[in-house]
Structure formats: C-alpha cells, structure tokens
C-alpha cells in the first residue's frame, strides 16, 4: 500500500528542490510524527497551537534536545 497523497507531494517537492535523501527521510519522519500526534488530522487544519503543543511534548515528555526540536519544526514548517 502506498503513502498518502500528501506525503507523496511533500516527497516530490523535496526532490524537486534537490534536498538530500537523508533530509527527505528525516523531514518525512517528523511530518508523520506531527500528524500522528494530532490524531491524524491533515496539516492544513493544524496551526500554531498544534505546532507549539507538539514541540512542548517533544521537550517535556520525550526529552529531545533543542536542536532536535528545531529540526522537527523545520520539517513541519516545510
């Protein structure tokens, strides 16, 4: 079974912009985690509060570093 059209679209944009394969994998992983964290709602309906909640979760519950939080934010914003 294939990926969602949304994820495939993101993948195509990353490749068009010549992002590295590792960056593509990392961004897609963080985007998927963000979507799952928000009960699989489409990112179009999510906003600043959901991003803040996700980053807070990463910091407080998952104890990720600030650089990892920044990477997750870059992926979500992309």
- Structural domains of the chain ordered from first start: 5-77 (1.10.150.130)
Spatial separation of the C-alpha atoms in residues 32 and 3, rounded to whole Å: 11
Single pTM value for the model: 0.88
DSSP 44-74: GG--HHHHHHHHHHHHHTS---HHHHHHHHH
| Residue labelled with tokens 């992309």 | 78
Kindly report, residue by residue over 9-65, the tens digit of the pLDDT: 999 999 999 999 999 999 999 999 999 999 999 988 999 999 999 999 999 999 999
């Amino acid at each position: 079974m294939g990926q969602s059209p949304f994820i495939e679209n993101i993948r195509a944009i990353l490749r068009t912009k010549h992002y590295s394969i590792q960056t593509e994998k990392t961004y897609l992983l963080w985007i998927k985690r963000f979507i799952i964290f928000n009960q699989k709602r489409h990112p179009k309906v999510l906003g600043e509060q959901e991003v803040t909640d996700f980053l807070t979760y990463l910091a407080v519950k998952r104890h990720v570093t600030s650089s990892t939080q920044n990477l997750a934010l870059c992926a979500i914003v992309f």
